[in-house]
Amino acid sequence: MIASIDPFHAIAISREAHALEAQGRSILHMEFGQPSTGAPAAAIARAHHVLDTDPMGYWESQALKERIAGLYAERHGVTVEAEQVLLTCGASPGLVLALTSLFTPGARVATARPGYVAYRNTLKALYLEPVEVGCGPAERYQISAKALAAIDPAPDGLILASPANPTGTIIPADELARIAQVCADRGIRIVSDEIYHGLSYGEPAHSMLEYAPDAVIVNSFSKYFSMAGWRLGWIIVPPTLIDAARARMGNLFLTPPVLAQQAGLAAFDCADELERHVETYRRNRQLLLDALPALGLARIAPPDGAFYIYADVGHLTQDSLSFCQRLLRETGVATAPGIDFDPVDGHRFIRFSFAVSTDRVEDAIARMIPWFAAQRRA
């Protein structure tokens, strides 16, 4: 039987937003976690040079793999060999690569609910069984070691994200250690999605490699490095999985584009520019947090990192998709419906992305305050 997977409703919202834009409407795109900034200047300059001088082909940059491996020593104090790094065409193929290297069809893989839409649907597409664990305010919208220990029978795997999408919540170091111990005790393999690392507004996020050396890490240049359209990512696998993962990579995806690899390597030398982006997100985050009372939104997930506000709008609607559609059509502000991230409770949540310029966040707030007030009066 062909696997049945749900659509990504935010894509439909975005499609309508672009159609309205083409008609001359002023649209503010807050539906995707897509930085409005482009790639760092040095990365773009390097790409121009490569276009002029390199015929390009199937190639894997050893220098980039070494630089990525070094990142884990610098940030997290763990040793990763360059051969453990596999370069991918973004994090999405990286997730497929991780899951197919670890699990056989029918395996049960736990995820937090709410969680990134592609976790549930990629698992289904690969004939794996999602085991979604409901996580609310009491758990800071994150899976816990206690909840993981209570799943009976034990799942075969766990997909973890910290900071998480759609909530931005970060799992504290001591809880990550407890989760790693539960997984070790119960034979649960870990896939840690660390795509939002570098985007934290308090304590920095910890890598699961600090607590579970056999975890598979998924990451990308799309978020912190502001290179979403370049389609470049990586996974880190334990030594025992290198051959299996490389075999799948070679057959399913080949190599990422040479242009993206060369630009990605240059991006590592752009820390000052990239940190300025983080400061912009920090300002945008604070603007939205300050505006929440005026919007009448009192219940949100703690936005520790990433660039999202996940807000409960249950006092205004029980249909988050139609709510986002009306918000778009009546104000020009595009957002993501909670049903993408939570098929049970997402009907009363929406997600704002603040990965846009500060003036656009200010404009969005100005448009939304009277609109939300009108919804409360209706």
Q: What are the domain boundaries of the chain?
A: 9-33+272-371, 57-269
CATH architecture of 9-33+272-371: Alpha-Beta Complex (3.90)
Asked whether the beta carbons of 200 and 52 are under 8 A apart, the reply is no
- The residues that bridge with 87 in the sheet, in sequence order, are 234
Predicted pLDDT of residue 378: 66
Tokens of 36: 């409005």
Asked whether the beta carbons of 216 and 101 are under 8 A apart, the reply is yes
Predicted pLDDT of residue 3: 85
Instruction: Give the contacts of 23 (CB within 8 A, at least 6 positions apart).
Output: none
> Sign of the CA dihedral 148, 149, 154, 158?
positive
Predicted pLDDT of residue 376: 85
Whether CATH 3.40.50.720 fits 57-269: no
Q: Between helices 62-76 and 258-267, what is the axis angle to 10°?
A: 40
Backbone angles phi, psi at 38, to 5 degrees: -85, -175
Classify residue 22 by burial, with Cβ atoms within 10 Å: 0-12, 13-18, 19+: exposed
Asked whether the beta carbons of 279 and 345 are under 8 A apart, the reply is no
pLDDT per position in the chain (378 positions), as tens? 888 888 899 999 999 999 999 999 999 999 999 998 889 999 999 999 999 998 888 889 999 999 999 999 999 999 999 999 999 999 999 999 999 999 999 999 999 999 999 999 999 999 999 999 999 999 899 999 999 999 999 999 999 999 999 999 999 999 999 999 999 999 999 999 999 999 999 989 999 999 999 999 999 999 999 999 999 999 999 999 999 999 999 999 999 999 999 999 999 999 999 999 999 999 999 999 999 999 999 999 999 999 999 999 999 999 999 999 999 999 999 999 999 999 999 999 999 999 999 999 999 999 999 999 999 876
Asked whether the beta carbons of 111 and 120 are under 8 A apart, the reply is yes
Instruction: Give the contacts of 376 (CB within 8 A, at least 6 positions apart).
Output: 296, 315, 316
Q: Rounded to the nearest 5 degrees, what angle is found at the Cα of 131, between the Cα atoms of 85 and 337?
A: 85
Asked whether the beta carbons of 335 and 328 are under 8 A apart, the reply is yes
Tell whether omega for the bond before 114 is within 30 degrees of 0, i.e. cis: yes
Tokens of 168: 């931005």
The DSSP code sequence of 62-104 is HHHHHHHHHHHHHHH-----GGGEEEESSHHHHHHHHHHHH--
- HEC sequence for 108-126: EEEEEECCCHHHHHHHHHC
Terminal Cα distance for the chain, rounded: 46
Amino acid identity at 328? L
Asked whether the beta carbons of 222 and 233 are under 8 A apart, the reply is yes
Q: How far apart are CA 325 and CA 345, in angstroms?
A: 18
Predicted pLDDT of residue 319: 98
